[in-house]
């Protein structure tokens, strides 16, 4: 009997297809042939490059932003000293006197109350008798010719409150923006310092109601206190000490009106 090798014919499924692999082998085959759904991520190098680019942009932009903010503050201070100077000039034209800065936003009359912490209370010029935030509040009249406070201020104030219209008071001469002045109603510059008023005789101490021929300040970068001696200006001057918050350049030899000081005169 002659042996022969018979070739097995693959079984055919009812739909005509041949039997393929079954079980785990079939699963492996399907997995191997399926399209990939993995999303490619960033490599460490790509992340480092992105961080470096962001750092460079920040290093460029931050100084620009800081400079723009400082420029805006300087512009506001320039506008403030101009408005305060104009208010003082108008008050002088109307009444023949220059005033302590807290008086400039006073209305005609008053309600008999002085409430510096109440944002809804509007000061009247008659309310200054109750002003407990400064010394001798009614000593407010500065003689334009001498640059000193008038000695007969009580009589002048009585004349003012007796009839503001006849006296010539037409306030308020300025409106300080809420948050830009101290609770004593003294205007502050963008760096948080009070604006200074100078007369030909010296600098006005707004708290005490006096004109002083000296000014004490701390030298920048030190604990050293220096006394500047006047006279400082030969005319009335409104001044902000500027970004460095010190007279002039803030050195031992500092002078008002130089370096970054911002001022207007009349």
How many residues comprise the chain?
266
Burial 216-231 (b: 16+ CB within 10 A, else e): ebeeeeeeeebebebe
Residues 238 and 88 sit within 8 Å (Cβ to Cβ): yes
Per-residue pLDDT at 115 = 75
- Domain coverage including residue 83: 65-265
pLDDT confidence band for 208 (50 / 70 / 90)? very high
Q: Does 33 map to a domain?
A: no
Assess if residue 21 is contained within a domain. Answer: no
Read off the pLDDT of residues 25-44 as tens digits, 9 standing for 90 and up: 555 554 555 555 665 667 88
User: What is the token pair recorded at 35?
Assistant: 């399209």
Determine, yes or no, domain membership for 25. Answer: no
| Residue 23 domain flag | no
Other CB atoms within 10 Å distance of the CB of residue 22: 8
The pLDDT of residue 94 = 98
Please check whether residue 2 lies inside any domain of the structure.
no
Q: Is residue 87 part of a domain?
A: yes
Query: Residues 256-263: what's their mean pLDDT?
Result: 97
Cα–Cα distance between 74 and 261 in angstroms, integer? 10
What pLDDT is recorded for position 255?
95
Do 148 and 211 touch, CB atoms closer than 8 A?
Answer: yes
Q: Identify whether 258 is part of a domain.
A: yes
210's tokens: 């006096």
Q: What is the pLDDT of residue 64?
A: 82
Is it the case that residue 1 has pLDDT exceeding 50? no
Give the Cα separation of 75 and 67 in Å (integer). Answer: 12
The predicted structure's pLDDT at residue 247: 98
Q: Report the 10 Å Cβ neighbour count for 97.
A: 22
Q: Is pLDDT of 66 > 60?
A: yes
What is the residue whose two structure tokens read 């010190």?
246
Report how many domains make up the chain: 1
Cα separation, 17 vs 12, in Å, equals 6
DSSP of 200-239: TTEEEETTTTEEESEEEEEPTTSS-EEEEES---SS-EEE
In a domain, 81, yes or no: yes
């Amino acid at each position: 009997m002659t042996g022969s090798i018979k070739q097995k014919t693959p079984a055919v499924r009812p739909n005509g297809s041949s039997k393929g692999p079954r079980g785990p082998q079939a699963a492996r085959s399907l997995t191997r042939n399926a399209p990939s759904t993995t999303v490619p991520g960033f490599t460490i190098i790509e992340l480092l490059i992105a961080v470096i680019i962001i750092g460079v942009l920040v290093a460029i932009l931050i100084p620009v932003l800081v400079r723009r903010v400082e420029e805006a503050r300087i512009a506001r201070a320039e506008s403030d000293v101009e408005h305060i100077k104009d208010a003082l000039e108008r008050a002088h034209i109307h009444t023949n006197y220059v005033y302590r800065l807290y008086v400039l936003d006073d209305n005609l009359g008053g309600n008999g109350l002085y409430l510096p912490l109440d944002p809804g209370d509007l000061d009247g010029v008659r309310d200054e008798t109750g002003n407990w935030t400064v010394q001798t509040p009614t000593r407010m009249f500065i003689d334009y010719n001498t640059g000193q406070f008038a000695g007969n201020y009580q009589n002048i104030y009585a004349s003012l409150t007796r009839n503001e219209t006849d006296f010539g008071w037409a306030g308020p001469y300025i409106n300080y923006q809420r948050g830009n002045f101290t609770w004593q109603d003294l205007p502050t510059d963008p760096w948080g310092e009070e604006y200074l008023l100078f007369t030909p005789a010296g600098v006005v101490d707004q708290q005490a109601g006096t004109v002083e021929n000296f000014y004490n300040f701390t030298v920048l970068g030190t604990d050293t206190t220096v006394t500047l001696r006047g006279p400082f200006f030969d005319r009335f001057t409104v001044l902000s000490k500027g970004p460095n918050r010190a007279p002039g350049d803030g050195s031992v030899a500092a002078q008002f009106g130089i370096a970054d000081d911002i001022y207007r005169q009349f």
